[in-house]
Amino acid sequence: MDEPDVEIRARAKADEVVHRRTPDAAAGGGAEPRGRCESGSERVNLPERVREGDAYRDVEITFRVAARLDDPE
């Protein structure tokens, strides 16, 4: 995507994370009435799918969502 009109980033860091149950999470965005949207995450020491009861140390996750609106015609 070229330069987005809107961009939001969030970052979380932790010394240790233990999931007592497997999380069921989803995130995304949209651009209305016309536009493009993209989102994604970058993880450090944290797999895409975590396992219940496993300990993950020195973790960091950055989530980004960006949108570009089309020119009205």
Along the chain (73 residues), what's the average pLDDT of each consecutive run of 10 residues? 87 95 72 80 92 94 90 68
Integer Cα distance of 41 and 61 in angstroms: 7
Domain count of the chain?
A: 1
Is residue 39, in this structure, part of any structural domain at all? Answer: yes
Residues 6+ apart with CB under 8 A from 13: 59, 60
Is residue 1, in this structure, part of any structural domain at all? Answer: no
Q: Which domain holds residue 14?
A: 6-20+28-69
| Main-chain phi, psi angles of 8, to 5 degrees | -130, 130
Is residue 48, in this structure, part of any structural domain at all? Answer: yes
Residues 6+ apart with CB under 8 A from 73: none
Give the HSE-up count for residue 3: Cα atoms under 13 Å, Cβ half-sphere. 0
